[in-house]
Amino acid sequence: MTLSARTLLEGPRGRRLVLEWLAARGEAGPAYQRLREVLFHAAHVQERDRGHSVTAFGPGAERLRSSTTNPDQVAAAIDAIQDAVPPSAGELRSALRASVDAARYWQDRDGDDHVAAAPSVAAALERFAALVASSPHTVDWSAPVSSSTQQSVRWEAEPHGPRVTAVDDRRSAEKLAAWRTGTIDSDLRAHRERPADPAAPFSGAWWSIPPHSLLRSTGCLVDGRPAALEFVEDRFGWSAADVRPVRVPQGLRVIELRTPDDWSALCQAYPLDVSGEKRHDWFETTGRDERWVIPDWAAIAREADGVHLTIEGYLRCAGVAIDIELSGSLTGRAASVIAGWNPDETWWLTDAVEVVDEPERWVWFDSIGWARASAPPSP
C-alpha cells in the first residue's frame, strides 16, 4: 500500500501537513502571501467562535477581532495558487514537524486544524496532496520498520525544563505487567471520581502508547537525521540529545500500523477498556462520547515483539476516533484514538532489542535545525 492524495487527507495530521507546506512557501509569490493572511484570520475565527482563549493586540487587532473570514475563503485562496511545484525534502520535513507540533489530544484541535477539516478546504488541498504523495521524498512513508537503521534518542534535561525520566532496569514483561495494572486502577478510579458528563473539565492520561519505560526507536530521514529528533508530539523544546543506534535481531515480529483498520484490528484482538480515564480528553479532541478502548500492550507482547506506526499511518490515523466492533470478553461498539505516538516510531515489547555503541550528541541550531555536535554548521 502506498500513500495517495485521498489517504493523506483522511486525518487531521495529514491535512495539516499539506496546509503547512503551502502556507510556509514565503518566497513563492503573492498568492501564497494571500493564503497565509486568509488562513490566519480564518483560524482565529474558528478558535474564537469555539470559545478558545485567544487574544488580539497591536496593529490590525481590531480587524482581526471582528473578522468573519471562513474556510471557504481559505479554499478560494488555495485554488488561486496556479503553480504546482513539488515539495523539497526540507519543505516536507518542516511541514511534518509543524503538523506533529500542533497535535493535541487533551483539548479541542486548534483553528488551523478546523479550517483544514472543512470540506471545501480539503477539496482544494487535494491537488497539492497529490504532489506530496507522489514525491520521491515520501516513498518510505508507508514502508515497514527498517531494522538496520533504528535509532534511539535520549533528551538532555534543560535547566528549567521537565525532568528526563531515569533509566528503568526492569525487564519488559515486568514493565508491561505494571503498566496494565496501573492502567486498570487509574480507569476504575476515574469512573469513581470523575463525572460521567464527557464535557466536564477533567483531564487524565490522554495517550495510547505502550509504557513510557519501554525502548522505542525510529528510522532515519533521507538526509540522515533520526526521525525521533525531528517529529515529537507534545515536545518540550529540548535543544540537545544523545542518539544511539539500536540493534534489532532478525526474525522479530513487528505489527505494522498503516491504516485505521490496522489499529482497529489490534484493539479488537486485545481490547482494554479505558473509558473512565479517556472520556473527557478524547471527547474534547474528537467530539465523540464513546466507550473507549486501547490495545492491551501486555497481551500483545505475548504475540509480537514490536509495534511500528508508519508515517502514513500517523498522518491518516493520529487523533481520529477509530471505530471498533468488540466481541469476546468485551462486546459491542467502541472507539479508540492513536494519541501520543510519533511518526515512524516503533515501540519494542521485548528485551531482545538493545541500544549499542557510544551516544552521538545532536544539537538544535536555529539556522538549520538538528545537526551533529561534532560537525556544527558554518557561521
Q: Compute, in degrees rounded to 10, the torsion defined by CA atoms 338, 343, 348, 352.
A: 170
Q: Amino acid identity, residue 199?
A: A
CA 98 to the chain's CA centroid: 10
Question: Which pLDDT band holds residue 214 (cuts at 50, 70, 90)?
Answer: very high
Which whole number is the average pLDDT over 81-94? 90
Please tell me the predicted confidence (pLDDT) of residue 159: 47
Quote the mean pLDDT of the chain: 91
Instruction: Tell me how far apart the alpha carbons of residues 281 and 107 are, in angstroms, rounded to a whole number.
Output: 6
pLDDT digits (tens, 9 = 90+) for 299-330: 999 999 999 999 999 999 999 999 999 987 78
Q: Amino acid identity, residue 329?
A: S
Secondary element (H or E) of residue 220: none
Question: Which pLDDT band holds residue 209 (cuts at 50, 70, 90)?
Answer: very high
Which whole number is the average pLDDT over 80-103? 93
Which whole number is the average pLDDT over 28-38? 89
Least confident interval from 5-9, 23-27, 117-121, 248-252: 23-27
Q: In the predicted model, is pLDDT for residue 352 greater than 90?
A: yes
Q: Amino acid identity, residue 377?
A: P
Question: Which pLDDT band holds residue 165 (cuts at 50, 70, 90)?
Answer: low
Which whole number is the average pLDDT over 179-184? 98
Write out the DSSP string of 10-37. Answer: SSHHHHHHHHHHHHT-TTS-HHHHHHHH
Question: Which pLDDT band holds residue 374 (cuts at 50, 70, 90)?
Answer: confident
Q: Where are the domains of the chain?
A: 5-140, 147-372
- The percent of residues above 90 in pLDDT, for the chain, comes to 76
Distances in whole angstroms, Cα of residue 148 to Cα of each of 144, 151, 244, 357 = 12, 9, 13, 14
Question: Which pLDDT band holds residue 138 (cuts at 50, 70, 90)?
Answer: very high
Question: Which pLDDT band holds residue 8 (cuts at 50, 70, 90)?
Answer: very high
Which whole number is the average pLDDT over 76-93? 92
Q: In the predicted model, is pLDDT for residue 81 greater than 70?
A: yes
Please tell me the predicted confidence (pLDDT) of residue 161: 46
Residue 257 bridge partners (DSSP): 309
Which whole number is the average pLDDT over 45-69? 73
Q: In the predicted model, is pLDDT for residue 371 greater than 90?
A: no
Please tell me the predicted confidence (pLDDT) of residue 300: 98
Q: Compute, in degrees rounded to 10, the torsion defined by CA atoms 293, 179, 354, 254.
A: -20
CA 14 to the chain's CA centroid: 10
Question: Which pLDDT band holds residue 85 (cuts at 50, 70, 90)?
Answer: confident
Write out the DSSP string of 192-242. Answer: HHS-S-TTSS--------S-TTS-EEE-B-TTS-BHHHH--TT-----EEE
Other C-beta atoms lying within 10 Å of the C-beta of residue 193: 9
Which whole number is the average pLDDT over 193-221? 94
Handedness of CA 84, 111, 344, 233 (dihedral sign): positive
- Provide the grid cell at 148: 538496520
- Provide the grid cell at 96: 511534518
Number of residues that make up the chain:
379
Comparing CA positions, the residue from 104, 365, 340, 371 lying closest to residue 221 is: 371
CA 13 to the chain's CA centroid: 7
Please tell me the predicted confidence (pLDDT) of residue 23: 94
Q: In the predicted model, is pLDDT for residue 108 greater than 80?
A: yes
Question: Which pLDDT band holds residue 174 (cuts at 50, 70, 90)?
Answer: very high
Instruction: Tell me how far apart the alpha carbons of residues 375 and 280 are, in angstroms, rounded to a whole number.
Output: 46
CB 13 within 8 Å of CB 103: yes
328 or 284, greater pLDDT:
284
Question: What is the value of pTM for the model shown?
Answer: 0.92
Q: In the predicted model, is pLDDT for residue 139 greater than 60?
A: yes
Question: Which pLDDT band holds residue 234 (cuts at 50, 70, 90)?
Answer: confident
